[in-house]
Amino acid sequence: MRPIGLGLLAALIIAAMAPAVAMAAAKPAAAAVSDASRKSGMADTPALVTAAGLPCTVSDARLIGKAPPDKKTGALGSSLYEVACGAGNMGYLIQATPGSPANAFSCLEANFPADPVAKAPNPCLLPGNANPLAQMAAMLAKAKVSCAADKARGIGQTKTNTLIEVACPGGTGYIVTASAPLDLAKEATSTNCLAYDAAPGNIKCILYEPAARLTVVDNFAKMANNGCTVKDRRFVGIFNDGTEGYEVSCADGKGYIYKVNAQGAIASTLDCAKVSGGTCTLTDTRAATAEQAGLYTKLAKAAGSTCVVSRYAVFPTRGTDEVVEMVCGDGAGAIGMFPAVGKGQVLDCGHALVAGYKCTLGRPDYAGLTADLRKFDQKECTVSTVGTPLKAADGSIRLEVACSDGLPGYMIGFTNPTTPKEAIGCRFAGSCVLPTNKTGAAPKG
């Protein structure tokens, strides 16, 4: 469940919980279960369990109480039962009203009401229902909650879902969305409480304070082991790959986003100086960005380039190299490929296409491709436009180029991004698609 439209969801929950509120006024069950209440429960509840579609084979039951009909209000009266469903299974409260479907609420909801300070009006008391927190362990595993919950509360039900807040030792917490009535064998999902802290709406986590939940970020910083002494922290959100993002600002002025997987491990660490603007909000990225641009200038120089980096964007990691699109001081674009150890490589925007990267920030410079044509004695063509790289059967890359004079261009073959092996005129290549390269026909001969 995503933290969107929670206001509507809250309204549905309030409506769905109305029958249970009515029963809350009934006299609480006695601490001891009488033989008479157990006898009535065992006689009445098997049929109610079947009618309600509960995943329960009744092992114990009791009649909690009855609300008589009220002619003034038109109430038909109802009965409230507790059932236990065998070892390890969740028990239920069942509200039976003549002429209406039975309402069922798990013992988890009954024993841990939405208001954690309030006393549960009709708690489950049967021995088989003594520990509903432990019974929901399998459901939490399905929901990818990687802790043994030490607190919980039943937020309420919609027509199809039960919403439960669970809190873990240390302060982390989740809203679990499960089936309604609650069936531990069915699928369940969870959303970090921090997502609800940051979102508008009536659904909030209240078992721990938000500040307590954020202390987990300090542990992530230790796990990342990137030298960050945490100064401030925030929950970023859930990424498309399912990881959760946490931003930290560090005492040395740097900042990072930790992407954490469902197992609570660091999936990756993003440097705020390398991510797009606005992603990090706790860090003054201007200073960090200037420092990083200076670093890329040094790396480019070590690779033999004269590019003085003014802007940059980092590509997703490919292998062990850090790949960066750079804008040089004169506005020309370039692609830098820098390994963790050793000398890197800087490609102009033309040769970068052969390597599988496209410049989008700076001005493309095709002088290098023009120089390649000169190696094959094609001196009349100055490259003005390039096409989409094509992979040949032998694994080499073919790049179509157009000429500034409007005459048909060439298909240049490369064994690697910096080594051209041939240049074939588009009149002969047969696969050129750029507008000026499709004119004319191959000479007869």
Question: Which residues constitute the domain of residue 261?
Answer: 215-283
In whole angstroms, give the CA distance from residue 154 to residue 105: 9
The answer to whether residues 304 and 396 belong to one domain is no
The answer to whether residues 180 and 152 belong to one domain is yes
Lowest average pLDDT, out of 40-44, 52-56, 118-122, 260-264, goes to 260-264
In whole angstroms, give the CA distance from residue 64 to residue 123: 10
Closest CA relative to residue 326, chosen from 351, 343, 348: 348
Q: Which two tokens stand for residue 42?
A: 């065992």
Q: Is the pLDDT of residue 319 over 80?
A: no
In a domain, 443, yes or no: no
Closest CA relative to residue 44, chosen from 69, 80, 92: 80
- The residues facing 111 across adjacent strands are none
Q: Is the pLDDT of residue 358 over 60?
A: yes
In a domain, 209, yes or no: no
Q: Which two tokens stand for residue 67?
A: 């609300």
In a domain, 208, yes or no: no
Number of structural domains, the chain?
4
The answer to whether residues 63 and 138 belong to one domain is yes
Q: What SS3 state is found at 201? A: coil
Q: Is the pLDDT of residue 389 over 50?
A: yes
Q: For residues 326 and 306, is the Cβ–Cβ distance under 8 A?
A: no
The answer to whether residues 40 and 109 belong to one domain is yes
Kindly report the pTM of this predicted structure: 0.59
Query: Where is the domain boundary, 133, 163, 198?
Result: 198
- The residues facing 257 across adjacent strands are 247, 270
Residue 418 is part of a domain; what is its CATH number?
Answer: 2.30.140
Share of the chain above pLDDT 70, in %: 89
Q: For residues 281 and 243, is the Cβ–Cβ distance under 8 A?
A: no
The answer to whether residues 124 and 171 belong to one domain is yes
Q: What is the pLDDT of residue 29?
A: 42
The answer to whether residues 329 and 302 belong to one domain is yes
The answer to whether residues 260 and 313 belong to one domain is no
How large is the C-alpha radius of gyration of the chain? 33
Q: Omega of the bond prior to 181 within 30 degrees of 0, cis? A: yes
The answer to whether residues 299 and 375 belong to one domain is no
